Amino acid sequence: MSGKYTTVKAAVDAAPSSSGRYVIYVKGGVYNEQVEVKANNIMLVGDGIGKTIITGSKSVGGGTTTFRSATVAAVPDGFIAQDITFRNTAGAANHQAVAFRSGSDLSVFYRCSFEGFQDTLYVHSERQFYRECDIYGTVDFIFGNAAAVLQNCNIYARTPPQRTITVTAQGRTDPNQNTGIIIHNSKVTGASGFNPSSVKSYLGRPWQKYSRTVFMKTYLDSLINPAGWMEWDGNFALDTLYYAEYANTGPGSNTANRVTWKGYHVLTSASEASPFTVGNFIAGSNWIPSSGVPFTSGL
């Protein structure tokens, strides 16, 4: 950019609709605004996590819908973000408050931070890839019905007022949808100041009937409850969901006392886990290379 825009929104709104990549450099600073990306192939590049910060405070508690609460939202295809913090400061008491919502097909997020409490990162729809990102939250803080893979990411639990943490709430409504939240080669731990003694923490709960979430080769710290997963409402979805764990490590990864739901699986072979890799689940080898972002195609 020429530096002629003082807000991210103005720069994004001025972007042309074109087939080529359009790069917007967002220099270090705090941008308190709500941004909606409306053109294909936009790339936002900042100066780094904690340096370029786009922040907002819309929330359900504050009178907005979950969907509209997003500080930044991208729907058109091919969105890329790199070296930026996306934040929602509404706070835990205001319930759903999204930092980023992506419905962008073939979207890529690299070295970004997503900071909020409930519903921080809305992986709404389409194919999405997250690499070396940080995600902070309390309840359902990675949620939606995209086909999303998070690889080499740090997932940080914050202390919630309701004393229960659910990392994911995946939204698959039909068994034929090729969607799911895949957490690969990542780390789930408490944020600084997190007090695990007063909190029960779970890997996910089924927001919809066919909720699908897989944690593989991920470090699960001691905050994760031995049951691993939590009900949404009684027996809802427990037979129809697909929750799986493969080759996770850390004190929270022991599957001996996990839930006994029909839809829960401990995967023991690479062949069982490989459908959920970047290469297979989102065909990432076809489209991530053009972004220049590193990725691991297989396990």
pLDDT digits (tens, 9 = 90+) for 47-104: 999 999 999 999 999 999 999 999 999 999 999 999 999 999 999 999 999 999 999 9
Please give the chain's pLDDT, 299 residues, in tens: 457 899 999 999 999 887 799 999 999 999 999 999 999 999 999 999 999 999 999 999 999 999 999 999 999 999 999 999 999 999 999 999 999 999 999 999 999 999 999 999 999 999 999 999 999 999 999 999 999 999 999 999 999 888 999 999 999 999 999 999 999 999 999 999 998 888 999 999 999 999 999 999 999 999 999 999 999 999 999 999 999 999 999 999 999 999 999 999 999 999 999 999 999 999 999 999 999 999 999 99
* pTM check: above 0.95: yes
CA nearest 54: which of 95, 99, 17?
99
In Å, how far are 64, 146, 220, 239, 263 from 184, measured between CA atoms? 33, 16, 11, 24, 20
The residues near 235 (Cβ < 8 Å, ≥ 6 apart) are none
Burial of 144-154, coded b for 16+ CB within 10 Å and e otherwise, reads bbbbbbbbbbb
- Give the separation between CA 98 and CA 243, rounded to whole angstroms: 24
Q: In the sheet that 147-151 helps form, which strands lie side by side, from edge to edge?
A: 22-25, 42-45, 80-82, 107-110, 127-131, 147-151, 180-184, 212-216, 242-246, 264-267
CA nearest 137: which of 199, 46, 72?
199
**Residue 274, by phi and psi: left (phi above 0), alpha (psi -120 to 50) or beta?**
alpha
Ordered domains of the chain (ranges, CATH) = 23-290 (2.160.20.10)
Give the catalytic positions in this structure.
140
How much is the pLDDT for 1? Answer: 47
How much is the pLDDT for 2? Answer: 58
